[in-house]
Amino acid sequence: MNHEDFMQKAVELSLENMRAGKGGPFWAVVVKGWKIVWQWANHVTSENDPTAHAEVVAIRDACKNLWSFQLDDCIIYTSCEPCPMCMWAIYRARPKAVYYANDRKDAAWIWFDDDFIYQELEKKMEERSLPIHRLESENALKVFEEWKEKNDKIEY
């Protein structure tokens, strides 16, 4: 299989998922060594979980299957440009590449708010539509200080 084959699989399965009523028209495929390690669909509405995006769940399950919290030497193929949450998860998983079909403007055209969220993240906190406030805590900083000094931590 090649890049186009894996993308075609993601697109075909996104259509099947949508038609089955399990979630939006999104699917992600995680590949390592030109073999599918894991794949998953968007199940936001069927699981009542706003984080059950195809990329996030595929990353979770692929990492479990690979016994690693990173997707070293893996490629992710997704039927749409990842939303900010999925993009964050992808960066944290550290695959070697990501390929997508539709982009955020295409998603906005079918009333998904990914592009809106990208725009919101570019704004200063006080200019965003969702009020977000910092409550500083001396104790919270102490936890971070202890983590910084912890000798047996697994860094990620």
Active site residues: 55
- Range 101-105 contact pairs with CB under 8 angstroms and sequence separation of 24 or more: 101/7, 101/10, 101/11, 104/80
Q: How far is CA 19 from the centre of its chain?
A: 22
Rounded to whole angstroms, how far apart are CA atoms 94 and 101? 20
Cβ distance 97 to 75 under 8 Å?
yes
Q: C-alpha distances in angstroms, 74 versus 51, 87, 109?
A: 22, 15, 30
User: Which residue reads 């949508």 in tokens?
Assistant: 18
In single-letter form, the type of residue at position 95 comes to P
